[in-house]
Amino acid sequence: MFVQVFQGQVTDAGQVRQALEDWVERLAPDAEGWLGSTAGVAEDGTFVGVARFASPEAAQRNSGRAVQGEWWSGASKLFSGEVAFHDCSEVDTGRGGGSDRAGFVQVIQGRTDDVPRMRELTAVLDERSSAVRPDLLGFFTALHDGEEGAFTQVAYFTSEEDARAAERGEPPAEVAETLREEFDLMQDVRYHDLREPWLHSPR
């Protein structure tokens, strides 16, 4: 899987959502290799969009379409400043990755000095926490191409209420230890809570 992340500040979440709905309606049917998208606006006005493709080539073909350029020319005007883009060729998924059933999505961004170990710990957590975190429907961690150690992690939950309740609980010792080690590896961490996630997949 290949992931594209784009983000920036917006002042009107409704207009941005309308633009994305327009993309899904008009452009998605011919976007070869598009697997789905997750987007939303956090409380501070930060928009985060994450598009999943079958391959880098499929994403590149989509970006190269004239109709895509025309759409982005209009959508980009809805941002109040610079829009950041991150292409991610290395993506690790857990529990099937993205889920359109999610009622709450949390996006975690940061960097690490030990990518191999963080990837190992993510796999261990996926295996160990499935029984104790039924609120977690799926997740994936995408490494930013050309940005050493930078990553975007997207987690899909049944609801924010379920996620917060599970966070307050006491996990098994082995899960808690793995979580602590993983968080210790993360630096410059930023959280974007998408309380009204916009979730789309091919129809």
Q: What is the pLDDT of residues 27-65, one digit of tens each?
A: 999 999 999 999 999 999 999 999 999 999 999 999 999
**Domain residues of the chain, as ranges?**
2-88, 90-194
pLDDT tens, position by position, 151-162:
999 999 999 999
Measured from the Cβ of residue 69, the count of other Cβ atoms closer than 10 Å reads 10
CA separation for the pair 94, 77 (Å, rounded): 35
Work out the average pLDDT over 113-139.
88
Confidence of residue 171 (pLDDT cuts 50, 70, 90): confident
CA separation for the pair 22, 37 (Å, rounded): 13
Spatial CA neighbour of 96 closest among 154, 132, 139: 139
pLDDT for position 132: 81
Domains 2-88 and 90-194 alike in fold? yes
For the cut 90, the answer to whether the pLDDT of residue 128 exceeds it is no
pLDDT tens, position by position, 2-11:
999 999 999 9
pLDDT for position 102: 96
Assign domain 90-194 one CATH number from 3.30.70.100, 3.40.50.300, 2.160.10.10, 1.10.10.10: 3.30.70.100
pLDDT for position 137: 93
pLDDT for position 3: 97
pLDDT tens, position by position, 62-115:
999 999 999 999 999 999 999 999 999 999 998 878 889 999 999 999 999 999
pTM here is: 0.94
pLDDT for position 22: 98
Q: Which residue has the higher pLDDT, 62 or 128?
A: 62
CATH of the domain spanning 2-88: 3.30.70.100
